[in-house]
Amino acid sequence: MNRLRIALVEDNRQFLEEVRALLDETPLVEVGESYTSGEAALTGIVHTCPDIALVDLGLPGLSGTEVVRGLAECGCPTRCIVLTAYDDDAHLFAALQAGAVGYLLKDEASLPGLVRALMDVRDGGAPMSLGIARRVLDSFHRRSPRMQETRLAELTAREREILEYRVQGFSTKKVAEALHISYETVRRHQKTIYEKLHVHSMIEAIATVKIAPELPPLAR
């Protein structure tokens, strides 16, 4: 299996070197460029296109959220995991809306946890610190089930099929294998699912299904 190419975006040089040292301990990851400002990160990541970027939010110049949004808007395939000290709804939901696929808290960072998160994103997952994931789910439980049912009803048969597999715990890669379609095709469908459901991650899409119990079973 090819090593995951990782970029680090962090303005605290001590923390940056600590994360690099942690990840250098595993053969699964190749840590490449690191950036201490948002502008440098956006330019560098677009040029090098690593598999995943670990992005802090509190950067000088462009914020981490603006970096994530900029990468998404220019079509860069690099997926972004936020690694931050910010533990509030404003930063959390802004980052997810910008396109982050994961949200981890710095004070919970460990080598096993970071490697798990990176592997999860590689396989199409959306890693989040436990308290963060609970907050995302709670935000959906407060929404109207009827509205969510209406949005789910707008999905095509193929989109509903993919969403059902993800609800069952299949990764993006496993969904592609089960449906005999390409990984990128599944990713494109998932992006459309997010747009139709007004969500920003798979964990939110799954939460939408969970709070719409009256919707007929998804197509098999």
Q: Is 194 inside a domain boundary? A: yes
Does one domain contain both 192 and 152?
A: yes
The pLDDT value recorded for residue 215 is 47
Most confident of 50-54, 145-149, 186-190: 50-54
Instruction: Tell the residue number behind the tokens 């670990």, with chain if given.
Output: 54
| Residue 26 and residue 58 in one domain | yes
Phi, psi of 50 (to 5 degrees): -65, 165
- For residue 52, list its beta bridge partners: 6, 79
The answer on 127 and 50 residing in a single domain is yes
pLDDT at 118: 93
Q: Is 51 in the same domain as 119?
A: yes
Q: What is the largest CA-CA distance in the chain?
A: 52
* pLDDT tens by residue, 65-74: 999 999 988 8
Whole-number pLDDT of residue 205: 78
Assign residue 19 the CATH number of its domain: 3.40.50.2300
Q: Is residue 215 part of a domain?
A: no
Once rounded to an integer, what is the mean pLDDT over residues 44-56? Answer: 96
pLDDT at 142: 61
Same domain? For 149 and 177 the reply is yes
Containing 185, the helix (H) or strand (E) segment is helix 183-197
Lowest mean pLDDT among 2-6, 124-128, 215-219: 215-219
Give the CATH number, domain containing residue 152: 1.10.10.10
The answer on 113 and 73 residing in a single domain is yes
pLDDT for 219 equals: 44
Looking at residues 180-199, what average pLDDT do you find? 87
pLDDT above 50 for 79: yes
- Mean pLDDT taken over the chain: 85
pLDDT at position 173, please? 81
Q: Is there a domain that residue 219 lies in?
A: no
At residue 134, the pLDDT reads: 76
Instruction: Using the 3D structure, point to which of 137, 162, 188 is the last residue of a domain.
Output: 137
- Out of 137, 161, 182, pick the residue that ends a domain: 137
d(CA 11, CA 55): 10
Judge contact between 152 and 142, C-beta under 8 A. no
Same domain, 88 and 152: no
Indicate whether 220 belongs to any domain. Answer: no
Domain that holds residue 191: 144-210
Answer yes or no: is 133 within a domain: yes
**Quick one: 8 and 117 in the same domain?**
yes
For 105-156, write each residue's pLDDT tens digit: 998 888 888 999 999 888 877 888 877 877 776 766 565 555 566 678 888 9
Looking at the structure, tell me whether residues 24 and 97 fall in a common domain.
yes
Q: pTM score, two decimals?
A: 0.70
Calpha distance 13→61 (Å, rounded): 16
Residue 196 in any domain: the answer is yes
In-domain check, residue 217: no
Question: Do 54 and 131 lie in a common domain?
Answer: yes
- pLDDT recorded at residue 210: 61
Beta bridge partner(s), residue 84: 105
Residue 49 lies in a domain: yes
The pLDDT of residue 167: 80
Both 168 and 111 in one domain: the answer is no
Last residue of a domain, one of 99, 114, 137: 137
CA nearest neighbour of 205 among 165, 175, 158: 165
Q: Is the same domain home to 17 and 111?
A: yes
How many domains does the chain fold into? 2
Look up residue 17 and give its two tokens: 């070197």
